[in-house]
């Protein structure tokens, strides 16, 4: 059978497909796999209890149950949930925002597919535009979503190292240049894969640059405020009509519900709604239904602040301390853990590349992610891209501990 160019592009090998294959096989299989490679949120007991109770109340209400499973939502998404969310964001941040500024998507990945291909790629006048990633590394899921080639251009970061064996990426603001070949700027905050939280000043400068060039700033806020608020450093959340803020219910503990959220101006929201109608017809109802009460009451913020954030911060600190302890004797740095679910390990002078290290660890039953996947749009042959691993710490403490010890053993064997 001969596939189209479209099919060949999306069926070829990619980092995100490998990640999800590994994740799915590990979660569904009966082998002892130490899964430190995915972005699956932890099963936090308090959050599971809430969602189980909410599900039970839906089942016990025949009219609500029939509506959720038996009716199509409009292409923009569940209107009750969208109204409640716009009320919450207006109250929490005093934004000039209404339901017309919010659309839901079938997960964040679907939302980015639409946004990137809407704002970049081939235009009717023959021009090719790109998405500017102001600081690589960036999220692995961006890399393969373009319908055209060369959709991204990325800027190499500045690196600050510290005596405690941590480091931090900074946006090389002087290297950012925007012309009419750029359709949008996109940054994740907190960053997937590094856990980096770019500063408020960096956000403001990116916003000013975007407005000056009449292009949107896309902020991937999957781990950010006000929910799930997996941020361990000082940061403020800002939005204006030129910002496209992307959120999700996944990191609350609902990855199976596939509910992405886009907050933007009406033109963007109307376009997303039309895309949803063509690609999905309608969106799933269970995600918004399970979270509606939390959003209406504002409890989604208190749960994020009091349960979700402290839970992950404890796990991050524990994993960071263990990794520093186990890696003694080799040259290493760990990116400052400022948020999200990951530690980003940098191994300067690694004798093999990170992809080979990934394969060695996989044979030993530890799944991580090779850092080279996280540099979409960075054409420069930079050795640093092949010296990093993304390590997830959201699994049980026992799994994280066992996995980190094997990682350290394997790195030391490569260094000896």
Average the pLDDT over each of 7-21, 89-103, 217-231, 377-391 and give the range with the smallest value.
Answer: 7-21
Higher-confidence residue of 143 and 313: namely 313
pLDDT value for 85: 98
Q: Predicted confidence band at 15 (pLDDT cuts at 50, 70, 90)?
A: low
pLDDT value for 28: 55
pLDDT value for 29: 54
Which residues make beta-bridge pairs with 115?
A: none
Q: Predicted confidence band at 10 (pLDDT cuts at 50, 70, 90)?
A: confident
CATH 3.40.640.10 spans which residues of the chain? 71-302
Q: pLDDT at residue 17 above 70?
A: no
pLDDT value for 9: 72
**Dihedral sign of CA atoms 316, 319, 321, 327 in order:** negative
Cα gap 5→203, rounded to integer Å: 37
Angle, helices 62-70/45-59, rounded to nearest 10 degrees? 100
Task: List Cα–Cα distances, 301 to 61, 96, 296, 298, 308, in angstroms.
Answer: 26, 20, 11, 6, 10
Helix (H) / strand (E) containing 340? none
Higher-confidence residue of 22 and 194: namely 194
Angle, helices 108-119/266-279, rounded to nearest 10 degrees? 110
Closest by Cα among 288, 226, 286, 228 to 252:
228
CATH 3.90.1150.10 spans which residues of the chain? 5-47+309-415
Q: What is the arithmetic mean of pLDDT over 134-162?
A: 93
Helix (H) / strand (E) containing 316? helix 309-326
Q: Predicted confidence band at 13 (pLDDT cuts at 50, 70, 90)?
A: low
Cα gap 392→408, rounded to integer Å: 15
Tokens for 95?
Answer: 């934004």
Note the pLDDT tens digit of each residue in 108-118.
999 999 999 99
Q: pLDDT at residue 329 above 60?
A: yes
Q: pLDDT at residue 146 above 90?
A: no
What is the pLDDT of the chain when averaged over all its residues? 93
Residue keyed to tokens 């209404």: 98
The top-level CATH class assigned to 5-47+309-415 is alpha beta
Note the pLDDT tens digit of each residue in 45-54.
999 999 999 9
pLDDT value for 21: 66
Give me the CATH topology for the region 71-302. Answer: 3.40.640
Note the pLDDT tens digit of each residue in 299-320.
999 999 999 999 999 999 999 9
pLDDT value for 379: 87
Note the pLDDT tens digit of each residue in 253-296.
999 999 999 999 999 999 999 999 999 999 999 999 999 999 99
Average the pLDDT over each of 96-100, 144-148, 365-369 and give the range with the smallest value.
Answer: 144-148
Task: List Cα–Cα distances, 99 to 118, 127, 263, 296, 402, in angstroms.
Answer: 21, 34, 9, 14, 46
Is 309 within 8 Å of 337 (Cβ atoms)?
A: no
């Amino acid at each position: 059978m001969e596939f189209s160019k479209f099919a060949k592009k999306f069926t070829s090998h990619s980092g995100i497909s490998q990640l999800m294959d590994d994740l799915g096989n590990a979660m569904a299989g009966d082998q002892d796999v130490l899964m430190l490679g995915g972005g699956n949120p932890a099963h936090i007991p308090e959050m599971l209890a809430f969602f189980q109770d909410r599900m039970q109340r839906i089942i016990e209400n025949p009219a609500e149950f029939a509506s959720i499973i038996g009716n199509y939502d409009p292409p923009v998404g569940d209107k009750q949930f969208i109204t409640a969310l716009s009320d919450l964001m207006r109250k929490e941040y005093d934004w000039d925002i209404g339901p017309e500024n919010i659309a839901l998507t079938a997960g964040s990945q679907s939302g980015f597919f639409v946004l990137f291909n809407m704002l970049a790629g081939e235009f009717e006048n023959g021009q090719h535009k790109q998405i500017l990633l102001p600081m690589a590394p960036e999220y692995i899921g961006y890399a393969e979503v373009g319908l055209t080639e060369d959709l991204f251009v990325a800027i190499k970061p500045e690196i600050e190292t510290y005596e405690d064996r941590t480091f931090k990426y900074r946006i090389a603001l002087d290297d950012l240049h925007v012309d009419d070949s750029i359709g949008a700027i996109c940054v994740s905050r907190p960053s997937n894969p590094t856990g980096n939280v770019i500063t408020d000043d960096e956000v403001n400068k990116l916003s000013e640059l975007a407005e000056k060039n009449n292009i949107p700033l896309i902020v991937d806020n999957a781990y950010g405020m006000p929910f799930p608020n997996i941020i361990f450093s000082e940061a403020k959340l800002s939005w204006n009509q030129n910002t496209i803020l992307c959120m999700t219910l996944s990191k609350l503990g609902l990855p199976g519900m596939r509910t992405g959220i886009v907050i933007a101006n009406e033109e963007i929201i109307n376009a997303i709604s039309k895309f949803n109608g063509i690609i999905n017809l309608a969106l799933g109802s269970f995600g918004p239904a399970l979270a509606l009460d939390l959003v209406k009451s504002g409890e989604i913020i208190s749960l994020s602040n009091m349960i979700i954030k402290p839970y992950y911060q404890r796990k991050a600190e524990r994993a960071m301390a263990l990794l520093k302890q186990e890696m003694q004797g080799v040259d290493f740095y760990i990116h400052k853990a400022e948020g999200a679910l990951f530690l980003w390990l940098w191994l300067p002078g690694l004798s093999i590349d990170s992809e080979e290290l990934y394969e060695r660890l996989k044979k030993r039953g530890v799944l991580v992610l090779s850092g080279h996947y996280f540099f979409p749009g960075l054409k420069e042959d930079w050795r640093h891209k092949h010296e990093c691993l993304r390590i997830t710490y959201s699994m049980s403490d026992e799994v994280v501990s066992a996995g980190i010890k094997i990682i350290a053993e394997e790195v030391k064997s490569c260094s000896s």
